[in-house]
Amino acid sequence: MLVERHHPAMVRLALGYVRSRAVAEEVAQDAWLGLLRGLDGFEGRASLRTWLFQIVVNRAISTGRREHRYLPVDDRELENDDGAFSQDGWWMTPPAHWADLAVDRIAARDVADRIQDLISRLPAGQRQVVTLRDVEGLPSVEVCLILGITEANQRVLLHRARSRIRSLLEREVMT
Amino acid sequence: MRRRRAPSGHDMTCRQAVALVTDYLDGALTGEQAALFRAHLAECPHCTEHLAQIRVTVAATGQVGIDDLDPLARADLIDLYRRWRAGT
């Protein structure tokens, strides 16, 4: 069923822009209503999913503005967790090796919960992109269409979000 | 004329390699960049590990949100749909 497949993702997407889950639910429902009424000009050029997610973003932004919540860019977006490098660009402290150990642990429910919690605290741009790309598994092109950003911009945000989640996993695995 | 040679692992620093991981995984590097990246990885166990960690990260993030629709939200939607079908 279309609703079951897309609705949770639409609510998560809206949560990037509005304060509460209740409002995010409203935004997502509003998008479905738009679809049912055929009012929002779906012309079959984009996939239905892209179009639905775009409606969610547009409505969430206007709702978020009314809530004085929507902040397009945040200074924290500039932080980077890539690691520490010497001036000439080599690892200062080589990374701990844990990727092999982590494979067994990542399926654990509490790890997913912690990642979800971290994503909810990421700056808006990173949160949108990582949610659509890595939680929902959408392709890059579609995510750019939905969010109205360039592919390069999208990859910068994705890179930062993944770096943060990587650090979280490292702490989970090493402790 | 520039001499052509196979890229070596030292043509790219670790900092550069790590910065390009997302582009690499998205297939967004040029052929030359991708060759440099692979050459660096072939000689650098640390950056190889970092790439493996990012792959694990992407897989772990994919575990998030396989939750079902909130039952209340689902009931709302079905109700919405019924009303729409009934033309009210």
Nearest to A162 among B46, B57, B76 (CB): B57
**Helix, strand or coil for residue A33?**
helix
Listed residue (A78, A43, A95) closest to B56, CA to CA: A95
In this structure, what DSSP letter does residue A18 have?
Answer: S
Nearest to A97 among B49, B54, B61 (CB): B49
Among the residue ranges A64-68, A151-155, B15-19, the one predicted with the least confidence is A64-68
Listed residue (A41, A36, A73, A70) closest to A54, CA to CA: A41
Q: What distance in Å separates residue A113's CA from the closest CA in chain B?
A: 7
Give the pLDDT of residue A133: 93
Give the pLDDT of residue B68: 46
CA distance B73 to A22: 10
CB contact under 8 A, A8 and B70: yes
pLDDT, one tens digit per residue, over A120-149 is 888 888 988 998 899 888 899 989 988 888
Q: What distance in Å separates residue B74's CA from the closest CA in chain A?
A: 8
In which residue are the tokens 């209503």 written? Answer: A33
Q: What stretch of H or E contains A154?
A: helix A151-174
pLDDT, one tens digit per residue, over B9-64 is 678 999 999 999 999 999 999 999 999 999 999 999 999 999 999 999 999 998 88
Q: Is there a contact between A95 and A66 (Cβ–Cβ < 8 Å)?
A: no
Residue B25 class from Cβ within 10 Å (0-12 exposed, 13-18 middle, 19+ buried)?
middle
Q: What pTM did the predictor assign?
A: 0.76
Per-residue confidence at A155, pLDDT binned at 50, 70, 90? very high
Q: What distance in Å separates residue A61's CA from the closest CA in chain B?
A: 21
CA distance B13 to B11: 7
Q: Does B23 touch chain A (CB under 8 A)?
A: yes
Q: Of A17-21, A46-50, A92-96, B53-57, which has the strongest mean pLDDT?
A: B53-57
pLDDT, one tens digit per residue, over A4-24 is 778 888 888 888 778 788 888
CA distance A135 to B81: 27
Q: Does A107 touch chain B (CB under 8 A)?
A: yes
Which carries the bigger pLDDT value, residue B79 or residue A40?
Answer: B79
Among the residue ranges A127-141, A161-175, B64-78, the one predicted with the least confidence is B64-78
CB contact under 8 A, A162 and B58: yes
* Amino acid code (one letter) for A25: E
